[in-house]
Protein backbone atom coordinates (compact mmCIF):
# COMPACT_ATOMS: atom_id res chain seq x y z
CA UNK A 1 0.00 0.00 0.00
CA UNK A 2 2.78 2.42 0.90
CA UNK A 3 4.62 1.90 -2.39
CA UNK A 4 1.45 2.37 -4.44
CA UNK A 5 0.50 5.53 -2.55
CA UNK A 6 4.00 6.92 -3.02
CA UNK A 7 3.90 6.17 -6.74
CA UNK A 8 0.57 7.97 -7.14
CA UNK A 9 1.83 10.96 -5.15
CA UNK A 10 4.94 11.10 -7.32
CA UNK A 11 2.81 11.16 -10.47
CA UNK A 12 0.58 13.95 -9.17
CA UNK A 13 3.62 15.91 -8.00
CA UNK A 14 5.12 15.64 -11.49
CA UNK A 15 1.88 16.92 -13.04
CA UNK A 16 1.78 19.86 -10.63
CA UNK A 17 5.41 20.77 -11.32
CA UNK A 18 4.83 20.57 -15.09
CA UNK A 19 1.93 23.04 -15.00
CA UNK A 20 1.21 24.60 -11.58
CA UNK A 21 -1.49 26.90 -12.98
CA UNK A 22 -3.64 23.93 -13.93
CA UNK A 23 -3.30 22.45 -10.46
CA UNK A 24 -4.38 25.67 -8.75
CA UNK A 25 -7.45 25.88 -10.99
CA UNK A 26 -8.39 22.29 -10.23
CA UNK A 27 -7.67 22.64 -6.51
CA UNK A 28 -9.83 25.77 -6.14
CA UNK A 29 -12.66 24.10 -8.03
CA UNK A 30 -13.11 21.59 -5.21
CA UNK A 31 -12.90 24.00 -2.26
CA UNK A 32 -15.85 23.91 0.07
CA UNK A 33 -17.81 27.13 -0.11
CA UNK A 34 -18.37 29.19 3.06
CA UNK A 35 -22.02 28.20 3.42
CA UNK A 36 -20.97 24.58 3.82
CA UNK A 37 -18.43 25.43 6.51
CA UNK A 38 -20.98 26.98 8.85
CA UNK A 39 -22.13 24.59 11.56
CA UNK A 40 -25.60 23.30 10.95
CA UNK A 41 -28.12 23.05 13.77
CA UNK A 42 -28.73 19.56 15.07
CA UNK A 43 -32.14 18.01 14.48
CA UNK A 44 -34.58 18.39 17.38
CA UNK A 45 -34.39 14.68 18.21
CA UNK A 46 -30.59 14.84 18.64
CA UNK A 47 -30.74 18.04 20.72
CA UNK A 48 -33.13 16.53 23.27
CA UNK A 49 -30.85 13.61 24.20
Consecutive 10-residue runs of the chain (49 residues): their mean pLDDT? Answer: 96 90 67 61 64
In 17-29, which positions are buried (b, 16+ CB within 10 angstroms) versus exposed (e)? Answer: eeeeeeeeeeeee
Q: What is the DSSP letter of 1?
A: -
**What's the number of domains the chain is made of?**
1
Give me the pLDDT at residue 30, please. 60
The residues near 41 (Cβ < 8 Å, ≥ 6 apart) are 47
Domain of residue 15 covers: 1-26
Asked if 23 and 16 count as a contact pair (C-beta separation under 8 A), the reply is yes
In a domain, 17, yes or no: yes
Give me the pLDDT at residue 47, please. 54
In a domain, 36, yes or no: no
Give me the pLDDT at residue 28, please. 62
Amino acid sequence: VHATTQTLNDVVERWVREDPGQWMWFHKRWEISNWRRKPRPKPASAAST
